[in-house]
Amino acid sequence: MTVDWLTRTAAHADARAAAAGPADLARVVRARRRPARRVHLAIAALAVAAVAAVLVRVLLGDYVVALADLLPILRGETLPDAPGASFIVMEAKLPRALVGLLAGAAFGAAGAMFQTTLRNPLASPDIIGISLGASAAAVVALTFLDAQGIWLPAAALVGALAVSLLMYAVGRGTALAGQRMVLVGIGVAALLSSVIQLVMTRTSVQDAQAALVWLTGSLARATWPVIGLLTVSLLVLAPLLAVCSRWMRLAELGDDLSTTLGAPAGRARLGLVVAVALAAVATSATGPIAFVAFLAGPLARRLCGGRASLWAAALVGAVVVVLADFAGDYLIPDVNLPVGVVTGAVGAPLMLAVIITAGRAGKA
């Protein structure tokens, strides 16, 4: 029935196009280009905002660096008037800004991919257990195995992949696979939260404190090896994300219609594998930063005029994390708040505002 309906619709469209004049065709072309133009403008504006956020994080704060001095510092030169500026920028400020930029982009793109492909606003890595899987594995490795260096991100990656495989195994092969995956993920997230609490009560105070800082979401472990890991991961996953973004837009139409249009549901959900990898890599570097993956997609969709865009969502996540880290360091005098505390405090009321707005528009 769906194929016949599409055939009749295409025939009617061809007939109307044949009967239309040049002026009508020009109006149709302009109407189709207008949403795409808005998406491109939104992506360009967000890219400028991301660069500005990085500059704010690097140049401002307790130690102010002049913009004219930044390029010599990046070239490795020592400033005669400020010999300590190179160390502060290259070992403290710039690594945190770059890790926040890369991890925020990964969180934002992963959240938008989950929400769009599964057609569920709750399908976010920090809601359905992906981030908690990484957190539980990292906490166990940190407290019981004394994992350090590259082993801690590796443990977090294994935990996130294990949760995603469980969700896929339970949800695949059914007409309501997306809904089942979300429900299973929420249940697994509750179980893993209990596991984390149990581990925290059975470990030493020092290990519990270190695990708590990581669980809150922090950029305190920002180092150049971590930046290298994030950069390589994103360079590998970005082309796959670009391919999956085409299937993602068709997945919004539903399994039957997307299959008819040449993107079977199974192929479209391959993008979820990329999203899991993005969320796992970001969580392994920073810990679970609250609400970034959950809200980056809806905010980007609002900026793009209702159209989903992975690139816009990634840039929204990057801007939010970098600015939240800056606010956590300097918003309250003499208090350094982890970035996860700031995003949680801002994200909760923002989520309520999004839900209320969607309810008034009849889209709750």
The pLDDT tens digits for 7-64 are 555 455 455 545 555 554 455 445 455 678 889 999 999 999 999 999 999 999 888 8
- Report the candidate in 52, 139, 124 with the shortest Cα–Cα distance to residue 318: 52
Sign of the four-CA dihedral 172, 178, 183, 189: positive
In tens, the pLDDT along 333-347 reads 778 888 999 998 888
Provide mean pLDDT across the span 74-103.
88
- Is there a domain that residue 116 lies in? yes
Question: What is the residue-averaged pLDDT of the chain?
Answer: 79
Residue 99 contacts residue 316 (beta carbons within 8 Å)? no
User: Cα dist. 102→95, 106, 117, 161, 320 in Å?
Assistant: 11, 6, 22, 20, 11
Residue 332 contacts residue 310 (beta carbons within 8 Å)? no
- Is there a domain that residue 24 lies in? no
- Is there a domain that residue 55 lies in? no
Which tokens hold the place of 308? 């989903």
Provide mean pLDDT across the span 296-300.
90
- Is there a domain that residue 49 lies in? no
6 vs 333 pLDDT, higher one: 333
Domain count, the chain: 1
The structure tokens 């920028």 sit at: 89
- Please state whether the predicted TM-score (pTM) of the whole model is above 0.95: no
CATH number of domain containing 216: 1.10.3470.10
- Report the candidate in 228, 98, 204 with the shortest Cα–Cα distance to residue 153: 228
In tens, the pLDDT along 171-226 reads 665 555 567 777 787 888 888 888 888 888 888 887 787 778 778 888 988 888 88
- Is there a domain that residue 190 lies in? yes
- Is there a domain that residue 18 lies in? no
Percent of the chain clearing pLDDT 90 (strictly above): 19
- Is there a domain that residue 135 lies in? yes
Residue 251 is predicted with a pLDDT of 58
Q: Given a cut of 60, is residue 2 above it in pLDDT?
A: no
**% helix / strand / coil in the chain, to the nearest 5?**
75, 0, 25
- Is there a domain that residue 12 lies in? no
| Residue 202: domain span | 61-75+84-360
